[in-house]
Amino acid sequence: MAIPILMYHNVAEVPEGLHPDGRCLYVTPQAFASQMRLLQRAGYRGVSMHEAMPYLRGEKRGRVAAITFDDGYLDNLENAMPVLQRHGFSATCYIVNGCIARYNLWDAANLGVQKPMMNVQQLQAWRAGGMEIGAHTRTHPHLTACSDAELHDEIAIGKSELEGLLGIAVPQFCYPFGDADARVAKVVRDAGYVASPTVRRGRAKRGMDLFMLPRVAIDHADGLAHFAIRTFTPFEDLRARKVA
């Protein structure tokens, strides 16, 4: 059975002054609540990447949808977590170490908006709320453009740094910008991570490379019907084949 890995960034109203290119990174709190309610009504359980692993490896079967948030925005804690908890769901948030307690340093100038990130205490509250923390590098670079030394710093050293900061193991990783190739994926695997999704379209299936997992990117333009089509049907899988 296909496993949709849903990709979110911001769960908030679109801020004034945001560059139009940034609208795709937003889902309103109302839309997010409707989407999670639909998942539950359709018989799906929203899970973190950690909880999704037995399904991705083929060890379990059932209707699950992995829920992921890239970057570590404060609105994930404030607006998404209460909805997830209401439905008994969990999710994974991928953190950029160098932006903890700061803002989106890698794209704020282009988007025209500084978006607050969770601080350490808020990340701990995310975990205490039943959610998972994953790694998203130290500085959010394009990894395929990095040297071998830079990859080691961003991925392996970044893992140790985040684990030391939070006092937990961090086995999940996510590529910034979805930018990955075989060289990057090997560094991620060798660093001790167990999986990493990309931004390649499609739903995950048993037997797929756990370090090149596709996701369903949910954004501001997705009405509830379109969300359902993309999540519950082969629509994204077929679109991925056309792109390939």
| CA separation for the pair 9, 23 (Å, rounded) | 10
Q: Is 175 helix (H, G, I), strand (E, B) or coil?
A: coil
> Does the residue 211 lie in any domain?
yes
Chain center to CA of 132:
11
Exposed, middle or buried: residue 99 (CB in 10 Å: 0-12, 13-18, 19+)?
buried
Residues 13 and 220 sit within 8 Å (Cβ to Cβ): no
Assign residue 216 the CATH number of its domain.
3.20.20.370
Total domains present in the chain = 1
**Residue 179: which residues within 8 A CB-CB, separation 6 or more?**
142, 143, 144, 145
> Does the residue 220 lie in any domain?
yes
78 backbone dihedrals φ, ψ, rounded to 5°: -75, -40
Nearest CA among 123, 125, 62, 52 for reference residue 91: 52
> Does the residue 120 lie in any domain?
yes
> Does the residue 179 lie in any domain?
no
> Does the residue 182 lie in any domain?
no
Q: What are the tokens at 184?
A: 């990057």
Residues 123 and 133 sit within 8 Å (Cβ to Cβ): yes
The whole-number mean pLDDT for each consecutive block of 10 residues of the chain, a chain of 244 residues, reads 96 96 97 98 98 96 97 98 98 98 98 98 98 98 98 98 98 98 98 98 95 97 96 91 55
Q: What are the tokens at 38?
A: 């639909």
**pLDDT for res 244:** 45
| CA separation for the pair 231, 4 (Å, rounded) | 6
**pLDDT for res 1:** 85
**pLDDT for res 242:** 58
Quick one: which H or E segment has residue 201? strand 197-201
> Does the residue 52 lie in any domain?
yes
Where are the alpha helices (H) located in 63-208, listed in sequence order? 74-75, 81-86, 108-111, 120-128, 148-151, 158-166, 182-190
Domain that holds residue 103: 5-132+199-237
From the CB of residue 108, how many other CB atoms can be counted at a distance below 10 Å? 15
The residues facing 70 across adjacent strands are 94
> Does the residue 69 lie in any domain?
yes
Question: CA neighbours within 13 Å on the CB side: how many for 103?
Answer: 9
> Does the residue 148 lie in any domain?
no
